[in-house]
Chains A and B, each alone.
Chain A
Amino acid sequence: EPEVTQTPSHQVTQMGQEVILRCVPISNHLYFYWYRQILGQKVEFLVSFYNNEISEKSEIFDDQFSVERPDGSNFTLKIRSTKLEDSAMYFCASTPGDSPLHFGNGTRLTVT
């Protein structure tokens, strides 16, 4: 069964540094998402992406965040200047449309 893949599985960075989290959604899916989960808390929506543009974003997704689909397969989340509170598990997800979301295994981001 095809899966959403995310790299790296764990990223450690210093406060103020830029990080790029990478995702390869399932190939025939049209809608892509980033979610965040702080340890022990709920899964929080960050941004959705469809037809090569952001379709919706949450209050968390401020000017420090950006997303890109640089080619036909990758979907990236960039945090420009990381803060301690950005430490969390970041999940990428995709769906063909009116179907369940498929989540990747996540990237654990640790900001020191």
Chain B
Amino acid sequence: GENVEQHPSTLSVQEGDSAVIKCTYSDSASNYFPWYKQELGKRPQLIIDIRSNVGEKKDQRIAVTLNKTAKHFSLHITETQPEDSAVYFCAGRSIQGGKLIFGQGTELSVKP
């Protein structure tokens, strides 16, 4: 069945460094890939998304890259700040209105 694998499960960086989180997906029909940030006890909040017709998308310090051939996509956060500390989830979806399949999550810790 559909599956999204995410790694690493935990990531610790120094403030100002970059952080990279990687995901792979199994369903070749997947065409939409959002990234969510979840702070402790809160709901997942969309931070960036990418569609399969685009290879890269950037929004200020956050960027996402997609390699459809290899079926993997990555989140890049530059100039990390302590407030970036949270759990980040990647996800994939194959049809309009279809379910999102989430990765296992990466707990990012940014040390001041």
Contacts and interface: CB of A to CB of B under 8 A. Distances in A.
B43 A106 contact: yes
Contacts of A33: 99-100
A61 B76 CA distance: 34
B96 A98 contact: yes
Interface residues of B, number: 21
Contacts of B104: 41-42
B101 A45 contact: yes
B97 A91 contact: no
A42 B98 contact: no
Interface string A42-61: 11110010100001101000
A56 B99 contact: yes
B46 interface: yes
Interface of B: 32, 34, 36, 42-46, 49, 89, 91, 96-105
